[in-house]
Amino acid sequence: MTTTFAPDPGPAPLPRMIAAQTALEIRMLLRNGEQLLLTIVIPALLLVLFSAVDIVDTGAGKRVDFLAPGLLALAILSTAFTGQAIATGFERRYGVLKRLGASPLPRWGLMTAKTGCVLAVEVLQLALLTVIALLLGWSPTGGASAALPVVLLVVLGTAAFSGLGLLMAGTLKAEATLAAANLVFILLLVLGGVIVPLAKFPAAIRPVLEALPISALSTGLRDVLQHGAGVPWPQLGILAVWSVVALAAAARFFKWE
């Protein structure tokens, strides 16, 4: 008489489920070559290239002082928006989200794990970019008092980009998400004050560009880290609005399969 499969169902404790899911999400992300290229290699390469070579007029001061905050913003964009949209789009396509929907892990637990994964990778990216920038002679201003505004900007930027990425992943087909997320990445890289100062664009379209979440993030980080400003309230306000709208739309329109 064997009772190998005798029923004894039950969920694992929530913190254990979320920790396991977060660890799995991070492993999946780090195992994906294209994803690593996008999140780690491209921002680092752009930082080195544009700091070393005078391609774009970045205004007064060292080029790296202008570029480092912009590429920190780009790193947030690549992980929270582009990477998350593409990965989630394919998870939806391959039934991963559907299958997890029948597991004991609640949906909000899955979303918490995804957020944890994004934040962990961002810490990795920001640390790497900071080291490279410092080696290139970056001298950020603001000292310890810059920490709070930087954290606020990163958190709100992550929320806004995650909302937009999940909205895309949860409504479009996986292939469409792949194409659109990369296109948006390139457009925002060029138009969002990452490498090219917003002042270079015609005055007529500048207000539109300034309202983009990437511009709010790059400008806010630059105000704090290059110009030694205090808390950049206007940029935080823009990011907060994007966060609320994008996350609400994602929650409303996301289709799990």
Partner 1 sequence: MRDTPAVELTDVVLRYGAKAALDGIGLTVSPGTLTAVLGPNGAGKTTAVECCEGYRRPDSGSVRVLGLDPIADNAALRPRIGVMLQSGGVYPGARAVEMLRHTARLHRNPLPVEMLVERLGLGSAGRTAYRRLSGGQQQRLALAMAVVGRPELVFLDEPTAGMDPHARRATWDLVRELREDGVTVVLTTHLMDEAEQLADQVHIVDGGRVISSGTPRELTRGGAENTLRFTSRPGLDLGSLRKALPDGVVAAEPAPGAYRIEGEVDPQLLATVTSWCAQHGVLPDSLGVETRTLEDVFLELTGRELRP
Residues engaged in binding partner 1 (CB under 8 A): 2-12, 16-17, 20-21, 24, 27-28, 31-32, 90-91, 94-96, 98-99, 101-106, 257
Q: To the nearest whole angstrom, how small is the minimum distance from the Cβ of residue 37 to partner 1?
A: 15
> Which is closer to partner 1, CB of 22 or CB of 219?
22
Q: To the nearest whole angstrom, how small is the minimum distance from the Cβ of residue 205 to partner 1?
A: 40
**111-145 b/e with 16+ CB inside 10 Å = b?**
bbbbbbbbbbbbebbbeebeebbeebebebebeee
Give the contacts of 59 (CB within 8 A, at least 6 positions apart).
66, 197, 199
> Which is closer to partner 1, CB of 34 or CB of 57?
34
Q: To the nearest whole angstrom, how small is the minimum distance from the Cβ of residue 187 to partner 1?
A: 28
Residues 153 and 235: beta-carbon distance below 8 Å: yes
Alpha-carbon span 164 to 203, nearest angstrom: 27
> Which is closer to partner 1, CB of 113 or CB of 188?
113
User: How far does Cα 18 stand from its chain's mean position?
Assistant: 20
> Which is closer to partner 1, CB of 103 or CB of 139?
103
> Which is closer to partner 1, CB of 104 or CB of 228?
104
What would the DSSP string read from start to end of 175-190? HHHHHHHHHHHHHHHH
- 3-class DSSP state of 61: coil
Q: To the nearest whole angstrom, how small is the minimum distance from the Cβ of residue 25 to partner 1?
A: 9
Instruction: Report the half-sphere exposure of 147 (CA within 13 A, side-chain side).
Output: 3
Q: To the nearest whole angstrom, how small is the minimum distance from the Cβ of residue 108 to partner 1?
A: 11
